[in-house]
Copies of this chain bind each other. A is one copy, B any other.
Amino acid sequence: MVALAKVFRAKGYEGTSLAELSEVTGLKKASLYHRFPKGKEAMATSVFNYIGDWVQANVFAALADENNTPEVRLKNGLNHIATFYDGGRESCIFRAFSMETGLHLFEKNISAGMNEWISVFTRIGVALGQGPESAKANAVQTLIDIQGSLIVSKGLNDTDVFEQTLHNIEHRYLNK
């Protein structure tokens, strides 16, 4: 599943072929269809859910872990984000599935997923003393920062842009 995810994230829904998924998994196409009878769309859905589970179990769990102070939770969450995007080298599944064809298939998954990110970051903002409205606005800005910096990092072939953005996010939350 991790191999499927890597291809879909890098190539996007439209740019991913079953031939390549067969290569990276070592399974022939017919075997992929045995595991995913509904074909490419089902493979993509599984990848989307797999990634969602990983983010939930790592990023969101760290941000919500009540054993730590909000400051530590934020730092841990951002570290998981850095790992997840390999320091800016990996693309986001939201982006990979949101050109027109993919968007039509996954629009509900994407909007639900983005709203989760916003919700979790709103909560950490509130935990850090922000009012609910500005916490929400900051959460939306955080999502924009992550998505935008991934695009710009790719376009400039410069992972510093992504790393710097994660620092900026942290500073904004901690009023540094």
Contacts and interface: CB of A to CB of B under 8 A. Distances in A.
A164 to B, nearest CB: 8
Interface string A141-170: 101111111011011110001000100100
How many chain copies? Answer: 2
A149 B144 contact: yes
Report whether over half of chain A's contact residues are helix, strand or loop; otherwise say mixed: helix
A151 B95 contact: yes
A4 interface: no
Contacts of A31: none
Interface band, chain A? 35 or more
Contact of A152 (B11, B99, B103, B140): B140
Given A147-B147, A161-B140, A12 B152 contact: no
A94 interface: yes
B100 A151 contact: no
